[in-house]
C-alpha cells in the first residue's frame, strides 16, 4: 500500500488506533484434523471503519510500518488479544501474530511477558518483512524461556529460508494458503506438503495448514497426515470462542481416520516432580527416570536416579500423545540432543505432562508394527 499523499490522514488514524480505539480481536479455531477437535485459536485483529471506509488489517499494518510505529501497533493488538487469554478453553493454545521486526522491540516483548508465564502461547513470526537470527534470537530465547512456543507463518512463501527455520526451531510450520488452495487437484502441491511434513518431523515441529475451504482439501490433508488445520471450512473468525461449523462436523465424520496408532497405550504415567518441590522422594524410590515439570505441568526435562543427587536435568524428546511410534522413533534417530536410553516425555495438546515413554517400549511397539506388515 502507498499512503503517499494520505500520510497526514493515516497518521491521525494510526494515532487513534494506538490508544486502542476501533480495535478488536477475533479468534479462529485451529483443529486437530485426525481427532476432529479444536486444540487452539489464532487471534486476529479487526479495525472498525474510519472516515466511512473499511480498510483490511494488512493496510493498517502497512501504514504503521510507513509511519515507523509498527511495534507500537503490534503491542496494542497483542494486548487486546491477550485480554481473553484467561478465558481460553481448557487444553487449547492461543496463537498470536507478530512482525519479526516488532518482536525485536522491547515494547512488544514487555506486553507479552507482562502476562506472566507464556505456556500455551504460540507466537507466529509473520513473513511480511525479512529477519535474521542474530537480531531476532535474543527476543525469541527470552520468550521461549517464559514458556512460549514459536511458529513460522506462511512457510514456503515468505522470507524465511531453511537456515532461518533451523535457527528458530519452531514448534509449528504454517503452510501458506496458496499451497493449500486446490491441493486435492494438484499433485505437485501434495508432494511439497509431504516433503515439508518429513522436514517438520525431523526438527520436532508440527505442520499446520491454513486456508482450508473445502472438504476435499481437508480429506487430502488428512491423507497426507497433516495434523493441524484451520480455515473457513471449519469456522470463520469470531468472538470468543467459535466452534466447528456443523456441516463440517457432519462431513468430517464420514471421512475415515488415517491412523490409529498413537502413544496413548505406550506412555507410562509416572508421577512427575514439580521444579519447586524437593526431590528426596525420588532419590529414595526405585524409579530409573522421573520428569520435572513447572507449575503448569509442562515438562522441563528428566532426571535419572543418579542425576537426582546433583539436580542436573537431562534433555529429552517431547512427543505429543497423538504422535505415532514411528514418528517418535524417527525423531529419536535423528536428534542430536537426546542421549540413547533417555525416555521421551509424552504431553497433551497444550503441552502438559502425561507420562514417560521408554526406549524399550518404543522399540517393542515398532517391532510389533513391523511384524504386522
CATH number at residue 298: 3.10.580.10
Given 198, 223, 253, which residue is the final one in a domain? Answer: 253
- pLDDT at position 1 is 47
- pLDDT at position 286, please? 60
* Domain shared by 353 and 312, yes or no: yes
Task: Give the residue from 206, 223, 253 where a domain finishes.
Answer: 253
Question: Quick check: is 236 in a domain?
Answer: yes
Task: Quote the CA–CA distance of 292 and 309 in Å, as a whole number.
Answer: 14
Cell numbers placing 347: 504431553
Shared domain for 314 and 350, answered yes or no, is: yes
Q: Are residues 315 and 228 in the same domain?
A: no
Q: Which domain holds residue 71?
A: 4-253
**Secondary structure (H, E, C), 103-122:** HCCHHHHHHHHCCCCCCCEE
In a domain, 105, yes or no: yes
- Together in a domain, 186 and 315: no
pLDDT one digit per residue (tens) for the chain, 373 residues? 456 557 778 999 999 999 999 999 999 999 999 889 999 999 999 999 988 889 999 899 989 988 999 999 999 999 999 999 999 999 899 999 999 999 999 999 999 999 889 999 999 987 666 778 888 999 999 999 999 999 988 765 554 567 778 888 899 999 988 999 999 888 889 888 988 888 888 788 899 999 999 999 999 999 888 999 999 999 999 998 999 999 999 999 888 765 557 787 788 888 888 887 766 655 545 668 889 998 888 999 898 877 666 777 888 899 988 888 888 888 887 777 777 788 999 998 778 898 999 888 888 888 866 555 4
**What whole-number distance in Å separates Cα of residue 67 and Cα of residue 197?**
39
Tally of domains in the chain: 2
Question: What is the helix, strand, coil percentage profile of the chain, to 5?
Answer: 40, 20, 40
In CATH, what number is assigned to the domain containing residue 121?
A: 3.20.20.450
Q: What is the dihedral of CA 16, 69, 146, 169, to 10 degrees?
A: 130
Burial class (CB in 10 A: 0-12, 13-18, 19+), 216: middle
Q: Cβ distance 27 to 84 under 8 Å?
A: yes
Q: Considering only CA atoms, give the Rg of the chain.
A: 22
Residue 266 in domain: no
Both 11 and 146 in one domain: the answer is yes
Amino acid at each position: 500500500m502507498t499512503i503517499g499523499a494520505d500520510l497526514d490522514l493515516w497518521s491521525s488514524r494510526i494515532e487513534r488506533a494506538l490508544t486502542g480505539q476501533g480495535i478488536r480481536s477475533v479468534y479462529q479455531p485451529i483443529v486437530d484434523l485426525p481427532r476432529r477437535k479444536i486444540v487452539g485459536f489464532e487471534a486476529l485483529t479487526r479495525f472498525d471503519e474510519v472516515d466511512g471506509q473499511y480498510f483490511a488489517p494488512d493496510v493498517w499494518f502497512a501504514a504503521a510500518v510507513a509511519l515507523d510505529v509498527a511495534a507500537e501497533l503490534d503491542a496494542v493488538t497483542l494486548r487486546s488479544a491477550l485480554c481473553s487469554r484467561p478465558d481460553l478453553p481448557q487444553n487449547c493454545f492461543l496463537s498470536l501474530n507478530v512482525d519479526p521486526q516488532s518482536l525485536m522491540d522491547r515494547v512488544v516483548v514487555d506486553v507479552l511477558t507482562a502476562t506472566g508465564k507464556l505456556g500455551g502461547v504460540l507466537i507466529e513470526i509473520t513473513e511480511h518483512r525479512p529477519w535474521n537470527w542474530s537480531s531476532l534470537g535474543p527476543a525469541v530465547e527470552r520468550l521461549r524461556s517464559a514458556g512460549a512456543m514459536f511458529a513460522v507463518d506462511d512457510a514456503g512463501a515468505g522470507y524465511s529460508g531453511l537456515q532461518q527455520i533451523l535457527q528458530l526451531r519452531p514448534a509449528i510450520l504454517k503452510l501458506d494458503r496458496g499451497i493449500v488452495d486446490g491441493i486435492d487437484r494438484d499433485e505437485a502441491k501434495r508432494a511439497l506438503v509431504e516433503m515439508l511434513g518429513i522436514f517438520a518431523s525431523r526438527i520436532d515441529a508440527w505442520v499446520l495448514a491454513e486456508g482450508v475451504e473445502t472438504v476435499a482439501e481437508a480429506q487430502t490433508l488428512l491423507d497426507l497426515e497433516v495434523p493441524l488445520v484451520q480455515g473457513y471450512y471449519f469456522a470463520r473468525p469470531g468472538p470468543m470462542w467459535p466452534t466447528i461449523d456443523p456441516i463440517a462436523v457432519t462431513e468430517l465424520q464420514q471421512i475415515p481416520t488415517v491412523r490409529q496408532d498413537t502413544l496413548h497405550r505406550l506412555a507410562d504415567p509416572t508421577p512427575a516432580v514439580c521444579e519447586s518441590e524437593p526431590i528426596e522422594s525420588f532419590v529414595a524410590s526405585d524409579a530409573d527416570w522421573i520428569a520435572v515439570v513447572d507449575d503448569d505441568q509442562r515438562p522441563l526435562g528428566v532426571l535419572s536416579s543418579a542425576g537426582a543427587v546433583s539436580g542436573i536435568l537431562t534433555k529429552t524428546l517431547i512427543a505429543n500423545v497423538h504422535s505415532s511410534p514411528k514418528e517418535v522413533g524417527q525423531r529419536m534417530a535423528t536428534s542430536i540432543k537426546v542421549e540413547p536410553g533417555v525416555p521421551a516425555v509424552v504431553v497433551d495438546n497444550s503441552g502438559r505432562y502425561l507420562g514417560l515413554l521408554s526406549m524399550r517400549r518404543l522399540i517393542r511397539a515398532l517391532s510389533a508394527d513391523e511384524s504386522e506388515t
